[in-house]
Amino acid sequence: MHPTLRNMLTAGGILTGFALAGTALVVVTYQQTHPIVAENARRALLANLNELVPAERYDNDLTADTLEIRDPAAFGTEQPVTVYRAYRNGQPVALLATLVAPDGYSGAIRLLVAVNADGTLAGVRVLGHKETPGLGDKIEAGRSDWILGFTGKSLSDPAEGGWKVKKDGGQFDQFTGATITPRAVVGAVRRFLVYLREHREVLFQRSPDRERSPPGGIQR
Amino acid sequence: MSTPAYSRILADGLWHNNTGFVQLLGLCPLLAVSSNVINGLGLGLATTLVLLASNVTVSLIRQWVWPEVRIPVFVMIIACFVTAIELAMNAFLHPLHAVLGIFIPLIVTNCCVIGRAEAFASKHDPLRAAVDGLAIGLGFTLVLVLLGGLRELLGQGTLLAQAQLMFGEAARGWTVQVFHEYRGFLLAILPPGAFIGLGLLIALKNVLDARRRRVLAARALRPSVEG
C-alpha cells in the first residue's frame, strides 16, 4: 500500500475511534439522565400550573389532559399552543394555556394564563421574557405585584374596552419608563379571553371514546 | 520539554496567566453570565469540570494522536464532555440549567478549553494536566464570581440571590441584602456594566501586581544600600 494512503487511513481510523468512544459516552449519559430530565420538566410544569390552579381544585392528570391548538390570530404564534384542562368529578374547573405575547419591547413574552370555568382569570404568570431589567421585568411575579392584578378579572370586569393600559385609555397600570411591555401582556391575555368566549365549550368537551384526543374542529 | 512545578501551574492558572484577567479568553460567557454570583459560580464550576476532564483525557491519549488530526480529536473530546455535563446538569441541577441555558453548551466554544488542551495537556503528564485544568478553571470561576458579585451588589444591592437554584431549597435564605431600600443601579446589570466591571477588575489586578513588583524591587535593593 502507498505510504501516503496508509497515513491517511490511519489518521481516519484514529478519528473514527475517538468519534465512536465519544458518542458512546454521550449515549450512556443520555440514557442515564433522560428519565430524570423528563421528570424534572414535568414537575417544573406542574409547579407552574399548580400556582394558578391549586392541586386540590382538580382531580385529573393535568399534564396529560391537554390539547394542541394552532390559531396564530388568537395566540400570536405560529406554534401550536398547549391548553391544559382541569376537571373535578368530570366538571370543568379551569383551562390553562402557555401563550406568547409577540409584541414585547425586546421580543416575545411567554405567559401562562389560567381561566376558570366561569370566565374569570385564575391568574397570569410570566414564563420567560427578554424585557429590560429594572423596567419591563416588573411583569415578573417576583419583582412586583402587577401581574397578580389579573386574578379575578374577566371580559365583563373590566368591559372589553378597558382591556388596555391606562395610557391607551384602559384599566391596567403601565410602568414608569415601560409601557410597551405591559401593553403586550394585557393584549395577549385579552386575546385569549376573547378566544375562550367563543370556544370554551368545545375546549372543555371530552370526546366519549378517547378521553385525551382533541375534539374535532379545534385542530385547525 | 520542561516540566513545571505544581505550585507554578497553580499560580499561573489562578493569577499570573488567569483566563479572564490576563489571557482574556472566554469573554462571551464571562460577560453574559456574570450578572450575579450564583450564575457565575455555576458556569465557572461547569467550565472547570470540562477543563479537568478534557485536560486529563488529552494528556492520556497524547502519544496515540497524530499531530495532523489532533485538533479535531481535541474538539471531539471537549464536545462530548460538554454534552455529558450539560445532560447531567439538566438532570441534577434543573433550575440552574434553565437559568444558564445556552451558555452551558457554549462551553465547547470557550477558547480556553481547547487552548489548554493544545498548549499544556498534550505536552504534559496526566497529573500535571489535571492540576492545570483545575487551576485554569478555578481562575476563570474566580473572575466570574468577583465580577458577578460586583454587578449583583451594585445592580440590586444583594449577594448570593437565588442560591436555591444551585444548592437546593435550604439555600433560599442565603441571600445577603447588603443595602436596604436600594433602588438598584441598572447599568451594572446591563451588558455595558459587564465590560466596565471587568475593566475595573483588570485594572485592580494590575495595580496589585505593580505594587508587588515595587516591594520586591525595593527588597532586592536594600542590602546593597545598607552594605
ipTM: 0.76
From B147, B156, B160, select the one nearest B196 (Cα to Cα).
B147
CA–CA dist B171, A152 (Å, integer): 34
CB pairs under 8 A between A and B: 65
Strand (E) positions, chain B? 158-159, 176-177
Are residues B64 and A14, on separate chains, in Cβ contact within 8 Å? yes
Q: At what angle do helices B70-92 and B111-119 cross, to 10 degrees?
A: 130
Average pLDDT over residues B120-138: 93
| CB B125 within 8 Å of CB B17 | no
| CB B93 within 8 Å of CB B23 | no
Q: Which residues of A touch B88 (CB under 8 A)?
A: 29, 33
User: What are the residue ranges in chain A where pLDDT is below 50?
Assistant: 208-217, 219-220
Task: Tell me the three state secondary structure of residue B126.
Answer: helix
Average pLDDT over residues B66-72: 87
Selecting from A29, A37, A40 the residue whose C-beta is nearest the C-beta of B84 gives A29
User: Which residue type, as a one-letter code, is found at position B137?
Assistant: G
Q: Which residues of B touch A18 (CB under 8 A)?
A: 61, 65, 73, 76-77
pLDDT > 80? residue B19: yes
CA–CA dist B77, B73 (Å, integer): 6
Largest CA distance in chain B: 67
- When scoring B54, B69, B102, B189 by the number of chain A Cβ atoms within 10 A, the one with the most, hence best to mutate, is B69
DSSP calls for A146-215? GGGGGTT-BTTBS-GGG-SBGGGTSSB--BTTBSHHHHHHHHHHHHHHHHHHHHHHHHH---SS-TTSPP
pLDDT digits (tens, 9 = 90+) for B79-95: 999 999 999 988 988 88
C-alpha cell at A25: 459516552
Are residues B79 and A22, on separate chains, in Cβ contact within 8 Å? yes
- Is residue B80 less than 8 Å (CB to CB) from chain A? yes
Q: Which residues of A touch B190 (CB under 8 A)?
A: 132-133
Q: What is the DSSP letter of B184?
A: -
Here the contacts of A82-90 (C-beta below 8 Å, separation 24 or greater) are A83/A203, A84/A49, A85/A60, A85/A203, A85/A204, A86/A53, A86/A57, A86/A58, A86/A60, A86/A62, A87/A58, A87/A59, A87/A60, A88/A57, A88/A58, A88/A59, A88/A60, A89/A59
Min Cα–Cα distance to chain B from A111, Å? 16
Per-residue pLDDT at B1: 53
CA–CA dist B225, B227 (Å, integer): 6
Residues 6+ apart with CB under 8 A from B166: B38, B41, B42, B93, B96
Per-residue pLDDT at A185: 92
pLDDT digits (tens, 9 = 90+) for B145-160: 999 999 999 988 888 8
Chain B, window 135-174: residues with a beta carbon less than 8 angstroms from a chain A beta carbon = 155
Are residues A40 and B90, on separate chains, in Cβ contact within 8 Å? yes
User: Within 10 A of A48 (CB to CB), how many other CB atoms are there?
Assistant: 15
Count Cα neighbours of A46 within 13 Å in the Cβ-side half-sphere.
Answer: 14
Residue of B nearest to A37 (CA): B91
Residue of B nearest to A132 (CA): B190
Residues 6+ apart with CB under 8 A from B102: none
Considering chain B, what percentage of its residues have pLDDT values greater than 90? 44
**Placement of cell 385564575 in the chain:** A122
Q: Which residues of A touch B69 (CB under 8 A)?
A: 11, 14-15
Per-residue pLDDT at B133: 94
Residue with the bigger pLDDT between A93 and B178: it is A93
Q: At what angle do helices B126-156 and B111-119 cross, to 10 degrees?
A: 160
Min Cα–Cα distance to chain A from B80, Å? 6
C-alpha cell at A10: 490511519
Residues 6+ apart with CB under 8 A from A218: A67, A69, A199, A202, A203
Which pTM does this prediction carry?
Answer: 0.77
Are residues A33 and B87, on separate chains, in Cβ contact within 8 Å? yes
- Is residue B112 less than 8 Å (CB to CB) from chain A? no
C-alpha cell at B12: 499561573
